[in-house]
A and B are shown apart, each in its own frame.
Chain A
Amino acid sequence: MSADMPAAPSAGPQRLVILDQSIKVLYQSILVLSLYFLFAGHNLPGGGFVGGLTAGAAVSLRYVSGGAAAVRTTFRVPSHVILGLGLGVAAGTAFLPIALGGAVLEHGEYETNLPVFGDVKFVSALAFDVGVYLVVVGLVLMAFAAFGDDLGQLAQSDEPGDGAGADQPDAGRDDRSSPA
């Protein structure tokens, strides 16, 4: 496993083709799975936090193959904007019911029949979950952006530091996925 960066192909060890290609396939599938978790969360295991963590796992796969630079180009929107939007949506869901004359955090339901999906029940708590999802994704992106680069420098600057340093993001990721 290597943490090389596409920006400096000559300096790092060679990229692993099989890893790269399989990550390309996995990346999208995991993102779709994370969206499934997000929407299934009301009545089944899942929810915004779990979905966000799954998406974070997908992002970390990109980090494994392309380093911090690949993570930075994952989304066009800057990561702090994702984080801010998420917090805004989540706090807004708490606030909106007050404006409509209810209690804070109160939620409502809306059932409808969509052409493809059949009977669908929308719960306004879903908006809160979406907010949480965005916060988690934004946070994971920011963490990789903040700490991902130094690892590459470490690998280049001193050999023995490579192994010790490379353990760190993995440990962090395991920690994150445990509540899921």
Chain B
Amino acid sequence: MSVLLAFAAAALFGTGTFLLLQRRLSRIIIGIGLIGHGSNILLLTSGSGRGLPPIIGSADPTDFADPLPQALALTSIVITFGVTAFLFALGYRSWKITHDDVVEDDVEDRYIARRVDQLVDEGEAAARLNELAEDPE
């Protein structure tokens, strides 16, 4: 059982990482979801394995499954779910703005590109100003 879960976690981590490295935002979000599921499964397997539902009075406590990892996993599922929902909302917003799903270039690259554009713009603007300044005369 535990081996199976370990493989499941590994598979989820693997596919999740692959999707995370794609250019499309929707894939990145799905990738993050998969990695989240993988880590939650890992959290589940960290307990003592199979057992009865840990409800006091229903059975002998030594037969219980360890409830703590389940509680932890549930908490982290809720958190992952909430954040994934937020990411979807953000992706939706970005799609509304750009009508595209592709993640743009690396941050610093973009910044440098923007600066180059700006310098060009500023240069042009300065040239225009000079022309304007010269024109009336």
> Does A associate with B in a complex?
yes
Closest chain-A Cβ to B98's Cβ sits at a distance in Å of 16
The reply on B74 being an interface residue by CB < 8 A is yes
B33 nearest in chain A by CB position: A175
Binary B-proximity of A132-175 (CB < 8 A = 1, otherwise 0): 00000000000100110010000000000000000010001001
The reply on A37 being an interface residue by CB < 8 A is no
Chain A residues with a Cβ closer than 8 Å to the other chain, count: 13
Closest chain-A Cβ to B85's Cβ sits at a distance in Å of 7
Q: How many A-B residue pairs have CB under 8 A?
A: 23
Give the chain A neighbours of B85 by CB distance below 8 A. Answer: 143, 172, 175
A43 nearest in chain B by CB position: B55
Contact of A168 among B33, B77, B81, B88 (CB under 8 A): B88
Give the chain A neighbours of B64 by CB distance below 8 A. Answer: none
- List which B88-137 residues lie within 8 A (CB) of chain A: 88-89, 92, 96
Report whether over half of chain A's contact residues are helix, strand or loop; otherwise say mixed.
helix
Q: How large is the interface on B (under 10, 10 to 19, 20 to 34, 35 or more residues)?
A: 10 to 19
- List which B48-85 residues lie within 8 A (CB) of chain A: 55, 74, 77-78, 81, 84-85
A176 to B81, Cβ gap below 8 A? yes
Give the chain B neighbours of A168 by CB distance below 8 A. Answer: 88, 92
On A, residues with C-beta under 8 Å from B are 43-44, 49, 143, 146-147, 150, 168, 172, 175-176, 178-179
On B, residues with C-beta under 8 Å from A are 33, 55, 74, 77-78, 81, 84-85, 88-89, 92, 96
List 9 A-B pairs, minimum CB-CB distance, nearest first. A179-B77, A175-B81, A179-B74, A43-B55, A176-B81, A172-B85, A179-B78, A147-B92, A49-B78
